[in-house]
A and B are shown apart, each in its own frame.
Chain A
Amino acid sequence: MTESLLTVQDLEISAGQRHLVHPTSFTIAAGERVGLIGESGSGKSLTSAAVMGLLPGELSARGQVKLSGTEGNLLTWSERRMARLRGRDLSMVFQEPMSALNPLMRVGEQVAEVMRIHRTANPAQAKARAVELLERVRLPDPRAAARAYPHQLSGGQRQRVMLAIAMANSPRLLICDEPTTALDVTVQAQVLDLIREAVVADGTGLLFITHDLAVVASVCERVMVMYRGRIVESGSCEQIFTDPQHEYTRGLLAASDLTATDDRGRLFTIASAARYRSHASGDGAMTDAEADAGSASRAAPVDLATGEPLIEVSELVKTYSRTRTSLFGRADRVEALRGISLSIPAGRRFGIVGESGSGKSTLLKILSGLEPPTTGSVQVGGVHVESATSAQLRSMREDLQIVFQDPFASLDPRMKVADIIAEPLVPMRVPERKRRERVAETLAAVGLEPESAHRFPHQFSGGQRQRISIARALVCRPRILVADEPVSALDVSVRAQVLNLLTDLVDEYQLTLVFVSHDLGVVRHLCSDVAVMKSGEIVETGDVESIYTNPQHPYTASLVAATPSLEDAFAAS
């Protein structure tokens, strides 16, 4: 590890007058796996783009980037000269697998192309090698995959293809920019394994960019923490996780840890991270007993389970008919839900966990009466949703409100915050003056300034918008709050705040919470019960701790194992 593969010195990236990355220096040794961690806007992606010479034209980079075995500063190289390096010595996997491949070119050709460009194989060899590479990234039926077009592959499969392209010429450095952020948890685990195996086998250096501390720990040996365009801390994984020096790192670590809570049972935020630090560095890792004790105190809602179930779903089936052809199977009818039954007593916090395509969003739409079920029955607060009159449906919806996933798409950009929040009150014929009072109350309850009412959504950050979304759901005082992945689009530090807010509000308003998420960790923190969904079925349901610690169904077990957690990261380091 003495020879450094990549040396970055005083790299500075700016857009006109604005500095996006302040002078930054780091090195990566040959074969070393380095993580670069930071939240959105920290400049981590720009740093990697600058190394590859792929910065957008409007941005300029200064400083030095040197690669062993080459002369001079890569930043000053011509596009043509850099191109000879890219794909051969340096290669890259991007965040968005859905758009990273040319939609009009067969996958095999796209893999073979990288070998033809650098003449590392003749056309016939390249074609054969492409199939081998697709096999190496464990695509089912690599021959068929080579003949497929990208749209015939799933996101995870496309990301494997990207990895095959990146590793085709055994590069010396692989840069991965959030390669698994858009993927499901179980797929993420497989792709992470693949990346680690590939770079270890070829002795390739790795620069791994992510926002997720737990992910970085499972892949890298060393971590650099980036914050507001600067690397604020770097060190071995162990050091960063057990003895973080910089305040931001400590905050990030505290907010990421969904198993650690303060004495009120709330997650640590950057603001309250100081207390967390002593806890983590005390013995290096949390014991199971501590974790259990923490969760016991969290998941102790007022026990109303003896009462009538507030939500009762039985034998729910939803079938969409549409034409969809995928490479590995053809389906004209999509069975989104195949006989779901569950019962949620009043006052519980019920988590629904599943990956994309599990049917959890469909279930939610049917619960809130936005879509009719194909067969089966849904009862919310005594109303049979599937056969309800519009008056019954109206009163049911006053009881059940939704918080959506995307804080940018769930607020009408043309409406003022006051009107957005007041919207549920309009059909209830609440008089204008009363509406304004309720908006003001609710704004205060979600921790927003009263003046926010007169602003437009684009003037708020993601976390603040999610607060607005929560305020809209609560303004008509529902009994049930349904949250559809409300924190999955948020940065970790903001996530902790929004989750704490939800916990507070559920307590304060005595809400029954239905919390849909792909993230078992978040559900474990927030919920008392959980149902695990897969392919339109509930594979397992029960109280959250026992499911997490002792999963009965193999899918649940694989989900638990695949969920990156800081505990495992602590244990590993």
Chain B
Amino acid sequence: MARYVIGRVLQFVLTAALASVVVFVLMQVLPGNAAQVALGTSATPEAVAALEAEYGLDRPRIVQYLSWIGGVLTGDFGTSYVTKAPISPVIFNSIQVTLIVVLASMALALAVAVPLGTAAAVLHNRPTGVIISGASQIGIAIPNFLAAIILVMVFSLGLGWFPSSGWQAPIEGFGGFLERLVLPVTALALVQAAILTRYVRSAVLEVMREDFLRTARAKGLPAGRALVRHGLRNAAIPVVTVAGVQLATLLIGAVVIEQVFVLPGMGTELVRAVSNRDLVTVQGIVMVLVVLVLLLNLIVDLLYSVLDPRVRRAA
């Protein structure tokens, strides 16, 4: 078990290191000249040279990479060429917003998907099961920003129940914080719940075919209790895996949702930096998102080994 955890953590560190190289190469090496990009094609060579000198872009690439990644590891993402402001505060403020939205959405999506998916599996040849199944199929096909727009149309513009946009930190007023959280979280969670419902359904269906459920019934458990006692934990294993992958998707999905609701999250900052051609900021935010994705995968794998004794012994 310990060997497995250590091995998996090492793999995470290695992949993250490689990913940082990829991000650096993508953002700094491929475009050619970051200073030129930031200033635009009309900039004079003198202005470009001045910017390069100011930010150390005239140093060798490897030195630039090491100084950047060294900063990242100590929480310093450098200074934007465009706004001339340090990037770290931007990231630290926006990551909170994004994480709150993403985690709340995942919790809501799971709360909906687990019972619905189980019901769809148990009732798979009854109308209820078919309806749940069909509805989830349609739900998957709706982009989350469309769901967001529809929610705004109905609950904000139509019924006036919730504000259509904006953000309030919890300390500034918890009621206002919750009020502004409802629509973005629901929009993300709806689509996510549809995806997870399908996975829960197929995981439970799979488990229902297992021989050990027949054994449980042969021992004297009625079919329903056999499924609850023996089936659901087994079905949880593939669902946990998928939920981890889906958290990564949610993280990126939040980028779009934040635009709809004008939330000051990582997505909003990312899109702003891209439009400003502020590559250093983009680089920082992308690096954080990538590490978050890898971290989620790591957590899922560790959780998996807790759930499944067969993985525990595999080194």
Interface, chain A (partner B; CB < 8 A): 52, 54, 57, 79-80, 83-88, 91-92, 94, 96, 99-105, 113-114, 117-118, 149, 151-152, 162, 165-166, 323, 325
Complex: how many Å from CA A149 to CA B215? 16
Binary interface encoding of chain B residues 216-242 relative to chain A, with 1 for a CB under 8 A from any of its CBs, else 0: 111111110000001001100000000
Decide: A104 near B307, CB < 8 A? Known: A94-B214, A99-B210, A99-B212: yes
13 contacts between A and B (CB under 8 A): A79-B222, A79-B223, A84-B220, A87-B219, A94-B211, A99-B210, A101-B212, A114-B219, A117-B221, A149-B310, A151-B309, A152-B313, A165-B215
Name the distance in Å between A24's Cβ and chain B's nearest Cβ: 21
Q: Chain A residues near B210: list those with CB within 8 A.
A: 99
Q: Chain A residues near B310: list those with CB within 8 A.
A: 103, 149, 151
Name the distance in Å between B66's Cβ and chain A's nearest Cβ: 38
Complex: how many Å from CA A215 to CA B230? 33
Contact partner, A96, options B211, B221, B233, Cβ 8 Å? B211
With CB as the reference atom, state the residue of chain A lying closest to B237: A104
Determine whether the beta carbon of A101 is less than 8 Å from that of B223: no
Contact partner, B217, options A86, A99, A104, A152, Cβ 8 Å? A86
Interface residue ranges of B119-154 to A (CB < 8 Å): 125
Determine whether the beta carbon of A83 is less than 8 Å from that of B230: no
Q: Chain B residues near A323: list those with CB within 8 A.
A: 314-315
Determine whether the beta carbon of B313 is less than 8 Å from that of A101: no
Top 6 nearest A-B pairs (CB, nearest first) are: A87-B220, A99-B211, A87-B219, A83-B222, A114-B219, A149-B309
Complex: how many Å from CA A101 to CA B222? 17
Name the distance in Å between A562's Cβ and chain B's nearest Cβ: 26
Determine whether the beta carbon of A52 is less than 8 Å from that of B220: no
Determine whether the beta carbon of A117 is less than 8 Å from that of B220: yes
Determine whether the beta carbon of A165 is less than 8 Å from that of B219: yes
Decide: A102 near B216, CB < 8 A? Known: A94-B211, A149-B309: yes
Q: Does B308 contact A (CB under 8 A)?
A: yes
Name the distance in Å between B205's Cβ and chain A's nearest Cβ: 12
Decide: A114 near B315, CB < 8 A? Known: A94-B214, A100-B215, A101-B212: no
With CB as the reference atom, state the residue of chain A lying closest to B314: A323
Determine whether the beta carbon of B220 is less than 8 Å from that of A102: no
Decide: A83 near B220, CB < 8 A? Known: A103-B310, A104-B233: yes
Interface residue ranges of B70-100 to A (CB < 8 Å): none
Determine whether the beta carbon of A100 is less than 8 Å from that of B212: yes
Complex: how many Å from CA A80 to CA B219? 12
Interface size class of B (residues with CB under 8 A): 20 to 34
Contact partner, B218, options A87, A96, A149, Cβ 8 Å? A87
Name the distance in Å between A356's Cβ and chain B's nearest Cβ: 20
Decide: A54 near B219, CB < 8 A? Known: A103-B234, A103-B309, A103-B310: no
With CB as the reference atom, state the residue of chain A lying closest to B209: A56
Complex: how many Å from CA A100 to CA B218? 11
With CB as the reference atom, state the residue of chain B lying closest to A149: B309
Q: Chain A residues near B214: list those with CB within 8 A.
A: 54, 94, 100
Q: Chain B residues near A87: list those with CB within 8 A.
A: 218-220
With CB as the reference atom, state the residue of chain B lying closest to A101: B212
With CB as the reference atom, state the residue of chain B lying closest to A326: B313
Determine whether the beta carbon of A103 is less than 8 Å from that of B212: yes
Complex: how many Å from CA A149 to CA B309? 7
Determine whether the beta carbon of B221 is less than 8 Å from that of A83: yes
Determine whether the beta carbon of B307 is less than 8 Å from that of A86: no
Decide: A54 near B218, CB < 8 A? Known: A105-B230, A151-B309: yes
Complex: how many Å from CA A15 to CA B300? 42
With CB as the reference atom, state the residue of chain B lying closest to A114: B219
Determine whether the beta carbon of B218 is less than 8 Å from that of A52: yes
Complex: how many Å from CA A83 to CA B230? 15
Q: Chain B residues near A118: list those with CB within 8 A.
A: 220
Determine whether the beta carbon of A117 is less than 8 Å from that of B211: no
Determine whether the beta carbon of A83 is less than 8 Å from that of B215: no
* Extra A-B contacts (19), CB below 8 Å, given A79-B222, A80-B222, A99-B211: A85-B220, A86-B219, A86-B220, A87-B218, A87-B219, A87-B220, A91-B219, A96-B211, A103-B212, A104-B233, A104-B309, A114-B219, A117-B219, A117-B221, A149-B310, A152-B313, A162-B215, A323-B314, A325-B313
With CB as the reference atom, state the residue of chain B lying closest to A162: B215
Complex: how many Å from CA A162 to CA B220? 14
Determine whether the beta carbon of B234 is less than 8 Å from that of A83: no
Name the distance in Å between A199's Cβ and chain B's nearest Cβ: 16
Name the distance in Å between A93's Cβ and chain B's nearest Cβ: 9
Q: Chain B residues near A117: list those with CB within 8 A.
A: 219-221
Complex: how many Å from CA A162 to CA B216? 11
With CB as the reference atom, state the residue of chain A lying closest to B125: A57
With CB as the reference atom, state the residue of chain A lying closest to B220: A87
Q: Chain B residues near A114: list those with CB within 8 A.
A: 219-220
Name the distance in Å between B304's Cβ and chain A's nearest Cβ: 12
Complex: how many Å from CA A149 to CA B314? 14
Complex: how many Å from CA A149 to CA B230? 14
Q: Chain A residues near B217: list those with CB within 8 A.
A: 54, 83, 86
Q: Chain A residues near B219: list those with CB within 8 A.
A: 86-87, 91, 113-114, 117, 165
Q: Chain A residues near B223: list those with CB within 8 A.
A: 79
Determine whether the beta carbon of A100 is less than 8 Å from that of B211: yes
Name the distance in Å between B278's Cβ and chain A's nearest Cβ: 49
Complex: how many Å from CA A166 to CA B214? 13
Q: Chain B residues near A52: list those with CB within 8 A.
A: 218
Name the distance in Å between B296's Cβ and chain A's nearest Cβ: 23
Complex: how many Å from CA A101 to CA B212? 5
Determine whether the beta carbon of B220 is less than 8 Å from that of A104: no
With CB as the reference atom, state the residue of chain A lying closest to B309: A149
Complex: how many Å from CA A96 to CA B209? 14
With CB as the reference atom, state the residue of chain B lying closest to A175: B218
Complex: how many Å from CA A104 to CA B308? 6
Q: Chain B residues near A166: list those with CB within 8 A.
A: 218
Instruction: Find the residue from B218, B310, B313 having the highest chain A CB count within 10 A.
Output: B218
Complex: how many Å from CA A492 to CA B17? 60
Complex: how many Å from CA A165 to CA B211? 15
Complex: how many Å from CA A291 to CA B314? 51
Complex: how many Å from CA A92 to CA B125? 28
Complex: how many Å from CA A149 to CA B125? 34
With CB as the reference atom, state the residue of chain B lying closest to A98: B211
